Chains A and B, each alone.
Chain A
Amino acid sequence: MNCELAHERIVAAAYGELPDEQMHELERHMAGCPDCNTEREQLLALKVLAGALPVEEPGANLVARARLRLDEALDALPPRRWYERLGQRITNNFASLQAAPVAACLLLVAGAGAGSLGGYEIAQNRTAHAAAAAQTSRVQPQPAQVTETGTPAPAEIANISSIVRQPNSQMVEVRYNQVVPQRLQGSLDDPAIRQLLMVASQNSASAGVRDDSVGLLAAECRAGRGCQAAGIRDALMVALRYDKNAGVREKALEGLEPYVAEDVRVRNAVLEALLNDGDPRIRTAAINILEPVEADTSVRQVLHTVANSDQNPHIRTVSREVLSRVPEIQ
């Protein structure tokens, strides 16, 4: 064995990766080679030195922060559709399908059968629905429209051009564009008006329209009028997270305030704003809103982070004050 090979084997041996027979050979070489003995000493010294940079366990705060961020990101991902999962499974099992051509043929026949049956069912359903709809239109008169136009489907709306609330009333006028401009007038609790306001809060190119719509939706939420988790509340959370205009985000935050204690999704959105929002006003408002739930572990962790690392000294101070009022959880 030459010294070059011995040096490589010394490294392998030092890390427990040298097979026994090679170890024996190496020991024989080392017995008569002072250079290789020095090499081994140097390597062992390096191992000792490298120990001066110990591997540390990640802190609880880091783990909690990372989890929170990951949960948010996973929540935001759209769920995979059944056919995507099926496609992936078929791709995974492609090798076995190749090995079983009979199974593949059977699958094809079953697919064709299911397709024909499905087509037949759909055709029957359509006929039945058409008959039922015809009957309904004959029997029931259309409800009286409060509005100048009917309720538009969201897909028909090009954009929202303006929102005006009549003074001292529940009436709101929303102007929106379809192929031709339209106008809809109705009460704030009218589902059609609400639907338009929600569209306006997210899709409008105009910050003014978003501001008006989010302001009205937030006021409804603060008044406790029909602020369902899956409707207006979601729209406000989207505005808080993604709207480019700080005024709109601030209004959304105000609207979510009553739900921060009862709805964990709202709490997470507010925590996210506290950690990430670029506007110090919003971060400060988020701290105040979180006060009722300040003893919550995740809230405390975020407050700790903000108290230590927020670039704004006022926010750091406010966070510390809030934390100092909460007794430590043992």
Chain B
Amino acid sequence: MNGQKSAQERMQARAPEMELIREAQSGSRAAFDALVRQYEHQVLRLALHLTGSEHDAEDIYQEAFLKAYRYIGNFRFECSFYTWIYRIVTNLCLDQLRRRKTRREDHAVIVDRSGDEIDLLASVSDDRSFSNPAKELDRKLLGEKIQTALDKLTPRERMVFELKHYQGLRLRTIGEMLNTTEETAKNTLFRATKKLRAQLAELR
């Protein structure tokens, strides 16, 4: 009963947005602009944190909303608009991360059945521990080290860790956004944390 009620409330809360989407689908530029205003901060925040560059974030913003404008007619209300727009953005960010990724000759990467990249060497367990991290390290320097460690993840691992750890999304939503299952997203998150711990073990 409660579940039904909350679903109904959610639908009611989403009604104005659905109306905007329908208007945008009928060609209303003003409705589309309103949707852009609603999501632009989240899109820029994600792109900025993932790429670390205002210029790249701006390009991703531009391309994502142009794509959304072009294909909004294909949106069929099967998922939330939030998930749909994030799916576009995450795909663009993944492309950007892949382009930027330098060749890693010292890493052995294979692709598993779900299409995820697995770094074989990084999945070897690391027995060093760091129970009291970063007490004396300058925060900025530490930030740079974290960034370097994040850059060593595969684009997909980086994306899942970003969406879970920094953006606080549910694994189920992350799976929907990345066109995969919740279980695969969970495994990818596990691999990402394992690699990060190995990368950051020196900071104990």
Q: Which residues from chain A sit less than 8 Å from chain B, CB to CB?
A: 7-8, 11-12, 15, 17, 38, 41-43, 45-50, 52-58, 62-63, 65-67, 69-70, 73-74, 77, 79-80, 85, 88-89, 92
Contact = CB atoms under 8 A, between A and B. Distances in A.
B34 interface: no
A58 B48 contact: yes
B73 A42 contact: no
Contacts of B189: 11, 15
B203 interface: yes
Nearest to A73: B66
B44 A70 contact: no
A13 to B, nearest CB: 11
Q: What interface size band does chain B fall in?
A: 35 or more
Interface residues of chain B: helix, strand, loop or mixed (majority): helix
Interface string B68-109: 010001101000000000000000000000000000000000
Interface residues of chain A: helix, strand, loop or mixed (majority): helix
Given A42-B197, A45-B132, A55-B49, 8 more contacts: A11-B190, A45-B204, A48-B134, A50-B196, A58-B45, A62-B44, A62-B54, A85-B73
A67 B40 contact: yes
B44 A63 contact: yes
A46 B197 contact: yes
Contacts of A45: 130-133, 204
Interface in B34-82: 36, 40-41, 44-45, 48-49, 54, 57-58, 61-62, 65-66, 69, 73-74, 76
A41 B129 contact: yes
Given A8-B190, A15-B189, A58-B48, A38 B129 contact: yes
Closest 10 CB pairs of A and B: A88-B73, A58-B44, A52-B142, A53-B146, A66-B61, A53-B143, A45-B133, A52-B143, A11-B190, A66-B58
